[in-house]
Amino acid sequence: MLTEPELTRYQRQMIITGWGEEGQQKLNRAKVLVAGAGGLGSAILTYLAAAGVGQIRVIDSDRVELSNLNRQTLYTSQDIGLEKVAAAKQKLEAFNPNIRVEAIHEEITEGNVFDLVADYPIVDAMDNLTTRYLLNKVAVRRNLPLFHGAVHGFEGRATTIIPDETPCLRCIYQGVVADKTPVAGVTPGIIGCIQATEVIKYLVGIGELLTGRLLVYDGFGLTFTELKVSKDPSCHECARSEKGE
């Protein structure tokens, strides 16, 4: 049952067709993992918290730096030096006291990724392909949805991966991408909001997901392009028959 303050807080979204109190209760009961509390994470976390996603586990090993503040809108100048996840938890729980944020100040590695993810749907808000591949590996092996987003300058991309149904990240990308890419602050805001849109639709069970499609956004020319993506039959992550850990 939703409380009176919850009915009021969420009234404008519950009147969306297919959402209703039932959809809101699904969100309230949901657990989601957000890997990364940077630019993408700021947008994703804000809107998942606003929508009432009941439990959010956020993982990031960084502390807030001045050079983050052109795009990481969860933080203020007073937060410089603080753990990002601690500052994020404090902001988000103040923003929506109905939700709980589990702050994990750790680097995601090959050794801990399976424990950190547990069985939560995964939102990829990372800034490097190496960690993205680790998240992809867990998603494929545990059959968990993976909501991917990435940004570079004024460009961004997003796709939703449902293992077995859609290509995985390894089917789509090869190789590695350089660290410290340029970023206009608005770009992770836009892509993060697209990822949050996907998570919310997935949890409530409404709309069409961005599956089998890579959405490419170009803020310079202001275009959205959609590329069809297919499973790679020789993908070493998702094409093999045995799924062991």
Q: Which residues bind Zn ion (CB under 5 A)?
A: 168, 170-171, 235, 237-238
Q: How far is the CB of 238 from Zn ion (least distance, A)?
A: 3
**Which residue, 206 or 235, is less far from Zn ion as judged by CB?**
235
Q: How far is the CB of 211 from Zn ion (least distance, A)?
A: 14
Q: Give the whole-angstrom CA distance, residue 159 versus residue 147.
A: 6
Q: Give the whole-angstrom CA distance, residue 50 versus residue 59.
A: 19
Question: For the chain, what is the radius of gyration of the CA atoms?
Answer: 17
**Which residue, 106 or 165, is less far from Zn ion as judged by CB?**
165
Residues 39, 192 contacting (CB under 8 angstroms): yes
Q: How far is the CB of 243 from Zn ion (least distance, A)?
A: 12
**Which residue, 53 or 238, is less far from Zn ion as judged by CB?**
238
**Which residue, 10 or 133, is less far from Zn ion as judged by CB?**
133
Helix, strand and coil in the chain, % to nearest 5: 40, 20, 40
Q: Give the whole-angstrom CA distance, residue 158 versus residue 123.
A: 11
**Which residue, 163 or 188, is less far from Zn ion as judged by CB?**
163
* Token pair listed for 239: 């094409």
Q: How far is the CB of 21 from Zn ion (least distance, A)?
A: 38
* Token pair listed for 237: 């992550």
